[in-house]
Amino acid sequence: MKIALVGNPNVGKSTVFNVLTGSNQQVGNWAGKTVERKSGIIQRATQTIEMIDLPGTYSLTAYSQEEIITREYILRENPDVVMAMVDASNIERNLYLVLQILELAPRVVIGLNMMDLAQSSGITIHSSELAKALNVPVVEIVAAKGKGIEEFLTEAIRVGMLAEDPLPGKVPYPEDLEVKVQDMERLLATNSWATRYPLRWLALKRLERDPEIGQEWKTSVPRPTHSKDKDSCCELGDGASYELQKTTVLPGEDLLQKYEDEGWSKDHFEMAFADAKYQYISQILPKFRTHLNPTKPTWTDLIDVWALSPIWGYPIMFAVLAFVFWGSFVASAPLGGAISQGMAWAAERVVSILQWAQVPDFVLSLVRDGIFAGVGAVLAFVPQIAIFFAFFSLMQDSGYLARAAFLGDRFMQVMGLHGKSFFSLVSGFGCNVPGIMATRTLEDPKDRLITMLLNPLIPCVPRLGVMSAVVAAFFPGSRGSVVMLSLLMLSMLLVMFSALFLRRVVKQTERSAFVMELPLYHIPTFRNILLPTWQKTYSFLKRAWTFILVASIVVWVLSSYPQGVSMEATWAGKMGGWLTFIGEPLGFDWRIMVAIVFGFAAKETTLSTLGILYGVAADASQSIAQAMTGAMTPLNAYTFLVVYMLYIPCLASVVTTYKESGSLGWTSFGVAYNLILSFIMGWIVFHGGQVLGFH
């Protein structure tokens, strides 16, 4: 059995999907699209069920990839049943999508979620009356607490196994509009191409001149060619025969032209159908919904008075973000130190065992100075990453992240960006890869591209971890806080400058307005926080034990051979020598240049590379940074921090940018831009500092 899970954004679809599918999930992209595809397998008794979590969308028009993907899946894949999620606290908006789904799919089950939030707002939904009004089964659920989810699935299985399709309620359109719909239905009923779609839905789409339907017709009907078949062509005056060109015209074109002459344009039909659906919802709403104390403010209203205030909203937002960063980088420090000490202890035990086994010295060096020094330094970041993503999931699931995006829209406007770009840039503080993927929420492809190119300028957790270690070594005490803050401020200023610059490079059409629905506040469940936190942390750990392990071994080999020579004479030293002409104007020695090169593979490897090159075996990241103090002045260190914060994004970010943009040219431009910008800023900082007398 194949089940499609559909609903507006923020209705709890992901919670239901995660509960039902558990670990049996596959995540990727829809073919030829940049929208995420989630599918999972459910086993119930002897039945195997494939569940597809379709993109959250407010409607099924053809204005965004999410809308097109959702309706194309329902039309072409023909799922056995559609599970439609509805927010009980905002049911009027949600039912608009449900009515559109009922025009596409005959087998639908409604999951009435957030019943607890609706009740706390004084809203009572009578699910049995809603089921009668739409002639569709309705199941009450509270997804955040796991209530009703199994019953929702059981009802979907029952409907999917019915011998005949049920007859859901039909939206009654005004008489003059209904006449036009029926005229189009009769015309399309004679066309074999139209049989692949629900006839009434296709009639509505043709009246709206839906562009995707037009494209589907053009790609599915062969274009006419020269022919002398008298049945398919006509005689012209010169005796030549040509196939009738009218076969390339979409069905109903003449009828549409007639309506347009009467004043019924594409937009007129679209607005008329939408208005009719909302009028129908308003008519049936009193049958199943009662609203007590409508003037009593909800908890969401009371909190938003402060959280969305033009005066207090921004200080609150900055305080929340400051707490997130404090928890990620300060509170996590003891855990990171404990991991470093644990790795040092493990390195000693493993090396002692290998010495007892009398293994060759180069193996001991590989284990101690390569594997444990490299991977150990990186694993110290795990608490930072886990805590940051836990906070991020908490903000997202509680409903506050949407408010932060709303407040951030003003800053985005200054940069000429869409408010939804705020999601991407904030995500970039955790990792640039999900930050780049978060641009999928932007409808305008030019806004998406600009935000993708800006995201690597946001220092991610691994970069911030390396930076905090270097800052602590060179700028102890309160000076470190000032230095770290200055680096973050520089990053933000360069993001603003780059956004204005890229708006001139990337030609944009007029930007769409920033419109988003603010979900009600609610207390997130541990599952909804811990599951995404674990998934992202596990992804990082996999990289640490695979890619970063290999990178550490490669760095050890390059820095150890040829044996019996000084570090400068090794392969890594020679590589650094080749890059001296780049590093010298910035005050960098060859070790820093080699670390910067290997940092392209993954930012975490910068610290592991420095640990190997400076001979700090599996010790705390603080010790690695302190080892740098003998080779660098504070001005050199600050220059390194600026370059490291801004230069080429990691390999995973570059690959993700290419996949999301589909353009090798723009991906290459982004890499070159970051590289050039970082070294220009580094040169300015280094030489400007010398002029001002800093050392």
Looking at the fold, whether 156 and 190 belong to one and the same domain comes out as: no
Under 8 Å between Cβ of 419 and 405: yes
Phi, psi of 523 (to 5 degrees): -80, 120
- The verdict on residue 308 lying in a domain is no
Question: What pLDDT score does 50 carry?
Answer: 93
Residues listed for the chain:
695
Question: Given a cut of 90, is residue 107 above it in pLDDT?
Answer: yes
- The verdict on residue 307 lying in a domain is no
Q: Which range among 92-106, 469-483, 498-512, 594-608 has the greatest average pLDDT? A: 92-106
32 is in an annotated binding site: yes
Q: Which range among 224-228, 556-560, 563-567, 657-661 has the greatest average pLDDT? A: 657-661
Alpha-carbon span 188 to 202, nearest angstrom: 8
Alpha-carbon span 551 to 598, nearest angstrom: 8
- The verdict on residue 538 lying in a domain is yes
What is this structure's pTM? 0.65
Alpha-carbon span 493 to 393, nearest angstrom: 27
- The verdict on residue 302 lying in a domain is no
Question: Given a cut of 80, is residue 483 above it in pLDDT?
Answer: yes
Mean pLDDT score, 424-432: 77
Q: Looking at 251-255, 592-596, 613-617, which range is the least confident one?
A: 613-617
- The verdict on residue 61 lying in a domain is yes
Question: Given a cut of 80, is residue 249 above it in pLDDT?
Answer: no
Phi, psi of 137 (to 5 degrees): -60, 140
293 is in an annotated binding site: no
Looking at the fold, whether 153 and 192 belong to one and the same domain comes out as: no
Question: What pLDDT score does 153 carry?
Answer: 94
Q: Looking at 12-21, 212-221, 625-634, 649-658, which range is the least confident one?
A: 212-221
11 is in an annotated binding site: yes
Mean pLDDT score, 164-169: 78
Looking at the fold, whether 440 and 570 belong to one and the same domain comes out as: yes
Three-class secondary structure of residue 39 per DSSP: strand
Burial per residue of 321-359, b for 16 or more beta-carbon CB atoms within 10 angstroms, e otherwise:
eeebbeebbeebbeebeebbeebbeebeebbeebeeeee
Question: Given a cut of 50, is residue 589 above it in pLDDT?
Answer: yes
Question: Given a cut of 80, is residue 234 above it in pLDDT?
Answer: no
420 is in an annotated binding site: no
Question: Which one of 230, 264, 298 terminates a domain?
Answer: 264
- The verdict on residue 274 lying in a domain is no
304 is in an annotated binding site: no
Alpha-carbon span 644 to 586, nearest angstrom: 12
In the numeric block, which tokens belong to residue 32? 């030829």
Looking at the fold, whether 362 and 491 belong to one and the same domain comes out as: yes
Question: Given a cut of 80, is residue 437 above it in pLDDT?
Answer: no
Question: Given a cut of 90, is residue 44 above it in pLDDT?
Answer: no
Q: Looking at 274-283, 426-435, 583-592, 609-618, which range is the least confident one?
A: 609-618
CA nearest to 422, candidates 433, 430, 414, 411: 411
195 is in an annotated binding site: no
Question: What pLDDT score does 136 carry?
Answer: 93
114 is in an annotated binding site: yes
* Alpha helices by DSSP H, 61-207: 65-72, 91-102, 115-120, 127-134, 149-160, 175-189, 199-207
Which residue range is the domain that position 542 belongs to?
320-507+531-691
In the chain, the number of structural domains is 3
pLDDT digits (tens, 9 = 90+) for 502-546: 888 876 555 555 556 677 787 777 777 887 788 777 766 776 566
Higher pLDDT, 280 or 530: 280
685 is in an annotated binding site: no
Looking at the fold, whether 154 and 187 belong to one and the same domain comes out as: no
276 is in an annotated binding site: no
Question: Given a cut of 90, is residue 109 above it in pLDDT?
Answer: yes
432 is in an annotated binding site: no
56 is in an annotated binding site: yes
- The verdict on residue 491 lying in a domain is yes
